[in-house]
Structure 1
């Protein structure tokens, strides 16, 4: 991954020379004119190394280093002082402030490049980065989340995890297992470079767990890109006979012999688009919930949390008219959160009810409801709810999600649209669109 170097120098000729030399070595470079600009830029664009002049307007290099060392997001970054001041007192003050190295002007370019390479090598070996992938570790991820919370910045956190990794590692050994971990890191890096932004963050939490921080409007494109690229590349790590068979033979954690499908990837996503978070631990917990739900679905997939902690805003269509509601009735909070984005895409407004009582109350407040989706695992009370709807609102379409054989679960004549669990997201989205279209034509 291309290393980032941030420069602060008030002399245009020095900035231009450094930019030219460093870019010719393959580094990504951003140049600033003073310490204040340096600190603000470093907070938005986390560098791998900083080169700082001491004597600058607005904020000198000493104060800039102090501020960067006091920010846990940049405290680990190597900092090189580059200045014409070379007295012993200046050198001591620079090191006491927190600088890692001291280069005087005029500088020798090969020597400066050698010092930069040495500091980048050492920084890559520090605990804040994962030693296998070189990606930022959990400490930096935590600080990045705290920073975005503090600044109320919109974000989407993607928790990325491999499915059936243990079976792969047991079959092919830890060396090939490490190659698979590195493959994931490469996939995330390539997708973010193509579809993300400079402010996006990639972290390696540990093992086969990764994290990506991006903006809410890019999350679908990035998740789909990760899944498509991973599913293509992972096949190169399988032996041809295992790939042709479509699974590995192994033993699960309880010691039971099993056939394990080709490794897939699951992504749990949480955003602050609809809800407010008080701390990073709450964000991590919700993202972990969504990741666990995604792992229950077949193949490589992602699940986005769409729950709201704020009073619901009535969304409107392009003509300014309120969108008709669609009611989700399920005690499964993760199932509800996965269905909400599908409803949004069908130009409907999601109402979610964890109990039948909540569903009845919402229907009373929203008689204009255009669709009801019910989780038949809720049992007898929900079946009675469906019978009442069929009797009193026969034109209101109902989509039932049934676990296993639906006979005896859904009363005859009450539900015309039945889908099986575990949920096939594409199938449900197509059914929502179909039912919505038929409803619009009927009205």
Structure 2
């Protein structure tokens, strides 16, 4: 008897990826092709797409309709929000973020890339590598994405030209190397026709490499990168039971792993982990991503926001440099008071300097000491906090070193920040 579907799915690895590219490069059609050709579309969805495609006079299926779910997106024919899609093959499951191509939605692209292990970047074969391609590559590099797949799309519109493909491939690989993208891949595709997305193309005998899906199935899932860091655990809640003297510190393991008996640092003191409690009972260990409650050998005055750590424990500081991405249309100026969310801590802070405004298209257009930064801007800043925080360099896709700047009056998030990261 075959194993239950739930058991099969539980044994598969999950890969998180996102799409990016310029407007009209075919991202939504590409995602629709992935969903359609992996048989991840329900019958009623497919029937709806068939009807709408016919009503619009579209020859065949307009697969972009499977993705552009917002009414405004359908009316404009563009993607304006991050749309998350889920699909699976026999080898693994996937969580895909389809991000906007417009420059004014750069913040949405940052959101999609921030949790992705792979970026699938599309270009139009007729246009090649353009400014938005470079912009998205820069964002991927800033966020520490190491694997980028370039889909040279609409290859059918240039008669499946090997020469055109090779020219785009060379330019992309040179830029990827310059930015430190360690694992670049380039595939000639036609999302509309289905060439080399899921199924191999019969129109390009000169291309013998993998399809996009084959790459996605073979690329190592990078979820273990956070495990390579030293143990980090931000306290979210202090659990007390006075009748039994039970005291534990609940939270999520951000990085590394911990075992019963390990020596850790907390509140400026050294102690030992005596128990690791979970919803399923006591465990001998916990690793990055696990939500647990730790019991320690010594009574230490710890509160929400404090850090329990091991290895190269970061020292508390009150000033640090960072790169931020503006998330609202309210500008942030030097000297502005804000709240800063770091891990589970929320403290008063001040942006003491906006050191540089980054033009990710060209370093020649960078602005030193600008008056402010705002929506979709990427800037290097200096931040001071009202109390010491154990900040450390951004690493392992946000396992450590990321924070938010919050407006004191409205509570709205002004910017997302990466400690110590510099584009240039």
Q: TM-score, normalised by structure 2?
A: 0.34
Decide which structure has the larger Cα Rg and report it. 1
* Greater relative CO, 1 or 2 (CA 8 Å, sep 6+): 2
| Structure with greater strand percent | 2
TM score, norm. by length of structure 1: 0.33
